[in-house]
Amino acid sequence: MGFEGRSVVSIKDFTREELDYILDVAEAMEPLYDKGSDMLRGKVLALLFFEPSTRTRLSFEVAMKKLGGATIGFAKPEATSVMKGENLADTIRVVENYADAIVLRHPREGSARLAAEFSKKPIINAGSGAEEHPTQAMLDLYTVRRERGRIDGLNIGLMGDLRYGRTVHSLAYALSLYKVRLYLISPPELRMRREVLEEIEGKIPVVEVSDLSEVLPELDVLYVTRIQKERFADPLEYERVKGSYRVDLKALEGAKEGLIILHPLPRVDEIAPEVDNTPYARYFRQVRSGVVVRMALLALILGAVR
Ligand code: NCD
């Protein structure tokens, strides 16, 4: 379908057909999660992480290795020439000589787009400030499809920091390509960004509320996010919203049977640990999906699967 050599900067660059195809390839990767494969032998993936990460970095690394490829990179820019003042464009023009594709996480919005303009090798955006996190959205779609059997026809709630959370921005764009009803649940201060609303309203029905209890009985999927403390310009603004929502067993009374709860992780305090052992909780299974989806994406971009 023409994925070879392609960058993944924004989820908006993908059609529904393309996303469905990536999910199909991810499903086909499931047996290789245990067995492994040699399909990317000789290929090198660079992982450039200018911001903290556990899952995204490790899951790209393990996805590449399960397919027989190698990884290089850094998780702390403090140990690199960035500290000597090297700019992102120069870093990319150097690293493209070492790697067949580059995974980039950077605090600046627009960083992945800029890198893709300079790079001869595909850039995979692993988080560009508060803007987007497209591969997370792909694994979120995959998890919904896997756990609920489909995406069309579902009522999906996105809850938490919809203002600064990049995963919910990418996921909202992606879901607007499906036949879903979207419920946006957040404190008024953390409402979904206007630019995202403008893009999705008109494509799918969108309902904004400030409290989970207003919409809980409608929901088939509840996607919870943490407050993105590090993105607040004003620490007092963070103090005002801190702890303003929490999903616990009591908050889930009246939920539909079959509701699933997802979370990109890391969790802070927005889902009580008592929820972990309920059938609703799927956030740790979601982590496994991240590996097969990234295996699929790497195999497609590096030309091992067409
Ligand atoms: C998310 C991120 O980095 O945006 N983490 C992840 O990649 N799973 C979510 C978050 O940090 O809250």
Which pLDDT band holds residue 82 (cuts at 50, 70, 90)? confident
Strand ordering across the sheet containing 44-49 = 70-74, 44-49, 101-106, 123-128
How much distance in Å is there from the Cα of 241 to the middle of ligand 1? Answer: 19
Q: Give pLDDT, residue 37.
A: 98
Query: Taking the model in full, what pTM does it have?
Result: 0.97
Q: Give pLDDT, residue 76.
A: 87
User: Taking all residues of the chain, what is their mean pLDDT, rounded to a whole number?
Assistant: 97
Which pLDDT band holds residue 86 (cuts at 50, 70, 90)? confident
How much distance in Å is there from the Cα of 140 to the middle of ligand 1? Answer: 12
- Give the gyration radius of the chain's Cα atoms: 19
Cβ atoms of 156 and 183 within 8 Å: the answer is yes
Cα–Cα–Cα angle for 61, 66, 67, nearest 5°?
A: 105
Gap between the Cα atoms of 154 and 258, Å rounded: 11
Encode pLDDT of 230-256 as tens digits.
999 999 999 999 999 999 999 999 999
Pocket probe for ligand 1: among 133, 169, 267, the residue whose CB has the most ligand atoms within 8 Å is 133
Q: What is the CATH number that goes with domain 11-132+289-301?
A: 3.40.50.1370
Candidates 3.40.50.1370, 3.40.1390.20, 3.10.129.10, 3.40.50.300; correct CATH number of 134-287? 3.40.50.1370
Encode pLDDT of 5-62 as tens digits.
999 999 999 999 999 999 999 999 999 999 999 999 999 999 999 999 999 999 999 9
pLDDT above 90 for 83: no
Which among 291, 289, 292 is positioned nearest to 146, based on CA atoms?
289
Return the domain boundaries, the chain: 11-132+289-301, 134-287
**56 in catalytic set:** yes
CB atoms within 10 A of CB 220: 19
- The dihedral of CA 210, 214, 218, 223: what is its sign? positive
Q: Give pLDDT, residue 253.
A: 98
What is the average per-residue pLDDT within 214-234? 97
**108 in catalytic set:** no
What is the average per-residue pLDDT within 204-228? 98
Q: Check if 11-132+289-301 and 134-287 are the same fold.
A: yes
What residues flank ligand 1, with Cβ below 6 Å? 55-56, 127, 133, 136, 166-167, 225-226, 264-266
Q: Please provide residue 281's backbone torsions phi and psi, each rounded to the nearest 5 degrees.
A: -70, 120
Q: Which residue has the least CA distance to atom 1 on ligand 1?
A: 264
